[in-house]
Amino acid sequence: MLETGDGRVVTSDGVNWQVQLWRAHQSFPWGGMGTPEIRWGYLVAGVWRRDIGFERFPVDPLIDVAEIETPARKLIENVQRHCEAVPFAPADHFELWLLDHEAHLPLALLASTREPSHCEGVSDVCWRASLPRDLSFESNTLKHDEDFARQLYRGSTYHRDAIAAFVNRGAGKPPVAQWFERDPQGCGTGMGGVRVDESLIGRHFSRDMFPELLVRAHWPDPRVQALVHDYHLWQAPLLLTLPGLSRTTRAFWESLASTQAEAVLRHYRLYPEIVDKQMVDAALVEAQLRRAAR
């Protein structure tokens, strides 16, 4: 992501850059009567690619197109200067972690930010396995163990909801989530958060106390551990974009991610390091052949 005062440009693959403008808009009360409230937020102006340029999305006819294109052009010029430098070094160093209910240790990452002011006012500490519309996660563990699956489901048959239910159960009720300030070595100092006891503020954790793959991988129940492994396997091509993976971890997940060749093709430009280049290159060739055959 590249950010200026006008907005930001975001990419998940290093190719397609979504231009988002920081704008004020009027929000009218119910029924359109009364004084409108001014709210700030991001307006998605379009997508830029080096090979096709900027494709502007349709905008509200009440908005002057120049108000969109002028700041968008400045952001695109910034991308053109820096896009070859991806992946960028991570800027977020404040992280919100859901804590387990037994030892109050990091269980799953909920959010991150580079702005201390963004650490205030968080209330939703429910961990979610995917974006709302992404229902594609399927676990072989749940497919082959119906009794275990029934223990996890709560009014849903989607596997992503099953793993979310278990991870959130591991946090207990009511859940506790704590902000940590991470230093360049990956160590973290405890801050405030949601329902954080004062005794937890100021504690210092080494890097290995934070789950390397963002959700705790080791669990007492082997079925749960297998379920989390299935989840990490599903996420493997994306997890390889994480900058803090050890070379051993990265090599292991490169070998598993190669089975999802097209996902590797989407994300490989954002990999900070590749341990087994031959294996990743083979996955890229496979993905390109698959695309050409369609």
pLDDT of residue 36: 67
pLDDT at residue 155, as a whole number: 63
Same domain, 76 and 186: no
Nearest CA-CA partner of 188 in 216, 212, 167, 208: 208
**What is the Cα 73 distance to its own chain's centre?**
27
198 and 102 within one domain: yes
Helix (H) / strand (E) containing 28: none
Does residue 117 share a domain with residue 219?
yes
Residues 217 and 150 in one domain: yes
263 in a structural domain:
no
Asked if 129 and 156 sit in the same domain, the reply is: yes
Q: Is 153 helix (H, G, I), strand (E, B) or coil?
A: coil
- Write out the residue range of the structural domain in which residue 11 sits: 2-85
Residue 189 falls inside a structural domain: yes
Q: Which residues of the chain have pLDDT under 50?
A: none
Work out how many domains the chain is built from and give that number. 2
**Same structural domain for residues 124 and 217?**
yes
**pTM more than 0.75:** yes
pLDDT digits (tens, 9 = 90+) for 141-157: 999 887 787 776 666 67
210 located within any domain: yes
Domain check: are 99 and 54 in the same one? no
Q: CA 151, 127, 109 angle in degrees (round to 5)? A: 125
- Of the three residues 220, 239, 258, the one that is the final residue of a domain is 239
> What pLDDT does 5 receive?
81
Whether 230 and 196 share a structural domain:
yes
How many C-beta atoms surround the C-beta of residue 185 within 10 A?
9
Which of 212, 239, 266 marks a domain boundary? 239
Q: What is the DSSP letter of 291?
A: H
- Specify whether 106 is located in the same domain as 221: yes
Q: What pLDDT score does 26 carry?
A: 62
User: 141 and 230 in contact (C-beta within 8 Å)?
Assistant: yes
Phi and psi at 64, nearest 5°, equal -65, 125
